[in-house]
Amino acid sequence: MLRYVFRRALQTAAVLLAITAATFGLFYAAPSDPALIACGPKCDTGQVEAVRHSMGLDQPIVQQYADYLRGLVAGRTIKDVDGTPIDCGAPCLGYSYTLHQPVSAAIADHLPVTLSLATGALAVILVLGIGTGLVSALRRGSRTDRLLSGFTLIGASVQIYFLGYALQYLLVYSTDLLPLPGYVPLADDAGGWAAGLLLPWLVLGFVNAAIFARLSRAQLLEVMHEGYVRTARGKGLSARRAHLKYTARGAAPPLVQLLGLEAGALFGGAFITETVFGLGGVGKLAVDAVVGNDLPTVVGTVLLAALCVVVFVAVADLVVAWLDPRVRLA
């Protein structure tokens, strides 16, 4: 197992390095001049050149990339437009001249919302998706099964902005069943935190749960008929215990892998949901940065999203290896 973890960690590090190179390349490929944007529309050529120099953009690309990587690992000092030094702490993603703060600070401001939203949505996905799959598999062909599969079809086909607005209208404006969605820091008021995020959780979770419901149903039905489940019952295990100990374990790996991808995507920001419910998460930060040509922030958020996917996929692979000795001993 240790060898597998080591191998997997090495791969993950290599992928991350490649992603920093690609996103840094994006910085240069984008058809805009960061120095010009930072300086402002009223600058003349000389001023732009001065800004370019203070931002370090006149250095060779390799040098800039090395500085960027060094900043990511150890932090560095960045000069503002006018040359005042700004201290940029350890995971330094550069400085946003639009927001006038280091990108990492901007992300840190928006991260709690995204973390809260993603965690809750994942919980909904797990309970709703896998629960639905489990019930449909156990009652295959029954009325419940057909009802649930219709339900998951709705989940898979409905759009978040439609469902979000519809539920907000029904549950918040018309009936006052839920408070207006919004973000209250967890540390300040746990109840308010949960109440404000409940609707976004449900909407984001429901829409993404459909695929889990379908996959878990198919997986369980397949594994239920595996030879080792029959052997377990042949040993004297009751059907329920055989399914808990053997079917569940056999069915889990693809679900874990899909969950890893899903978690990676959610922790990288959920722009549509954030917009529908007026939540200022990382997704909103990223889209605003794209609209405002704020390249350092774009690169920073892209890197964060990629990091989330890569890390969660790696974690999912490790869980699968732990579940299935054939993977880790291959």
Please tell me whether residue 325 binds another protein under the rule CB under 8 A.
Answer: yes
**Can you tell me which of 29, 45, 227, 291 binds another protein, judged by CB under 8 A?**
227
Please tell me whether residue 162 binds another protein under the rule CB under 8 A.
Answer: no
CB atoms within 10 A of CB 193: 19
- What are the counts of helices (DSSP H) followed by strands (DSSP E) for the chain? 16, 4
User: Tokens 């996959």 — which residue?
Assistant: 215
Candidate segments 107-115, 184-192, 235-243, 308-316, binder of another protein by CB under 8 A: 235-243
**Can you tell me which of 74, 169, 238, 254 binds another protein, judged by CB under 8 A?**
238
Candidate segments 83-91, 233-241, 256-264, 299-307, binder of another protein by CB under 8 A: 233-241
Please tell me whether residue 278 binds another protein under the rule CB under 8 A.
Answer: no
Candidate segments 78-86, 208-216, 246-254, 270-278, binder of another protein by CB under 8 A: 246-254
Going by the DSSP 8-state scheme, the letter that residue 158 receives in this structure is: S
Please tell me whether residue 206 binds another protein under the rule CB under 8 A.
Answer: no
* Strand, helix or coil for residue 177: coil
Distance of CA 328 to the CA centre of its chain: 26
Candidate segments 18-26, 207-215, 299-307, 320-328, binder of another protein by CB under 8 A: 320-328
Please tell me whether residue 234 binds another protein under the rule CB under 8 A.
Answer: yes
Six token digits for residue 93: 């993603």
CB proximity list for 248: less than 8 A, separation 6 or greater: none
Candidate segments 58-66, 212-220, 234-242, 277-285, binder of another protein by CB under 8 A: 234-242
Please tell me whether residue 147 binds another protein under the rule CB under 8 A.
Answer: no
Six token digits for residue 149: 């599969």
**Can you tell me which of 11, 83, 228, 261 binds another protein, judged by CB under 8 A?**
228
- In the complex, minimum distance from the CB of residue 161 to another protein, in angstroms, rounded to a whole number: 35
| Residues in binding contact with another protein, number by CB under 8 A | 23
Please tell me whether residue 230 binds another protein under the rule CB under 8 A.
Answer: yes
- Residues 143, 144, 149: CA angle, nearest 5 degrees: 100
DSSP string, 186-239: TTT-HHHHHHHHHHHHHHHHHHHHHHHHHHHHHHHHHHHTSHHHHHHHHHT--H
Please tell me whether residue 326 binds another protein under the rule CB under 8 A.
Answer: yes
Six token digits for residue 57: 């953009």
Q: What are phi and psi of 285, to 5 degrees?
A: -55, -45
Please tell me whether residue 254 binds another protein under the rule CB under 8 A.
Answer: no
Please tell me whether residue 123 binds another protein under the rule CB under 8 A.
Answer: no
Provide the mask over 127-146, with x wherever binding to another protein is found by CB under 8 A and - wherever it is not. Answer: -------------xx-----
> In this complex, which beta carbon is closest to another protein, that of residue 42 or of residue 235?
235
Q: Classify strands 76-79 and 101-102 as parallel, antiparallel or unpaired.
A: unpaired
How far apart, in Å, are the Cα atoms of 142 and each of 64, 176, 212, 294?
63, 36, 20, 54
- In the complex, minimum distance from the CB of residue 309 to another protein, in angstroms, rounded to a whole number: 24
3-state secondary structure 224-266: HCCHHHHHHHHHCCCHHHHHHHHHHHHHHHHHHHHHHHHHHHH
Please tell me whether residue 150 binds another protein under the rule CB under 8 A.
Answer: no
Please tell me whether residue 249 binds another protein under the rule CB under 8 A.
Answer: yes
Q: Residue numbers of the site for another protein (CB under 8 A)?
A: 140-141, 226-228, 230-239, 246, 249-250, 323-326, 329
